[in-house]
Amino acid sequence: MIGDVNLFLPNGVEEDGECEIMIASEHDRRKGYAVEALSLFLSYLTTSLPLPPTHLIARISSANIPSIKLFQRLGFGIVKHVKVFDEVEMRYASEIARDLDLADLALELDPGVVQSVDWRKTSLQGRLGSYDP
Ligand SMILES: CC(C)(COP(=O)(O)OP(=O)(O)OC[C@H]1O[C@@H](n2cnc3c(N)ncnc32)[C@H](O)[C@@H]1OP(=O)(O)O)[C@@H](O)C(=O)NCCC(=O)NCCS
């Protein structure tokens, strides 16, 4: 096991679900594991639970640029800055909030060449296994 991916559903499938992902070792990062795992996971959630894609959110520290970029690639937009925790809330298929001042957040996101990932087309066929500790 190199990390984990989770969904928190505090109020059931009728309301928002918070996604989290972690690739534990630096050695295993930047190899595409997070984008692969999250694509499969999001596809599974929205086809098997089912959870509407627009109910998917992520809460990420404002300083965590790798994670913010990862979720952006998967189609999540920043909708809120929760100042008290200095974290952003991202939601699938949402435009960036108009009243949000990215300069205020000091995110320094470099748009660069962003290859977005259409995880909704990810096939689960033969790619979901069981956990064997
Ligand atoms: C964020 C995290 C899950 C990314 O895992 P990863 O396997 O390295 O990510 P991937 O290799 O799949 O990268 C996918 C994309 O994410 C972004 N990204 C990942 N690491 C990045 C970094 N260090 N700097 C900038 N962008 C980064 C890039 O857009 C990247 O695409 P690219 O490689 O084509 O540029 C990992 O860094 C991590 O576990 N961090 C600690 C836990 C955490 O912050 N979790 C998120 C809270 S929900």
Q: Cα(87) to centroid of ligand 1, in Å?
A: 17
CB 55 within 8 A of CB 46: no
| 20-41 confidence digits (pLDDT tens) | 999 999 999 999 999 999 999 9
| Phi, psi (degrees; rounded to nearest 5) at 73 | -60, -30
CB 41 within 8 A of CB 92: no
What share of the chain has pLDDT > 70, as a percent? Answer: 88
Pocket lining for ligand 1, CB < 6 angstroms: 20-23, 29-35, 58, 60, 64-67, 69-70, 73
Give nearest CA residue, ligand 1 atom 27.
66
Distance CA 59, CA 120 (A): 21
| 89-131 confidence digits (pLDDT tens) | 999 998 776 667 666 666 666 666 778 899 999 999 988 877 7
**Rg (alpha carbons) of the chain, rounded to whole number:** 15
Residues 6+ positions from 32 with CB-CB distance below 8 Å: none
pLDDT of residue 2: 94
Of ligand 1's atoms, which has the minimum distance to the CA of residue 33? Answer: 7
Q: What homologous superfamily does CATH list for 3-114?
A: Gcn5-related N-acetyltransferase (GNAT) (3.40.630.30)
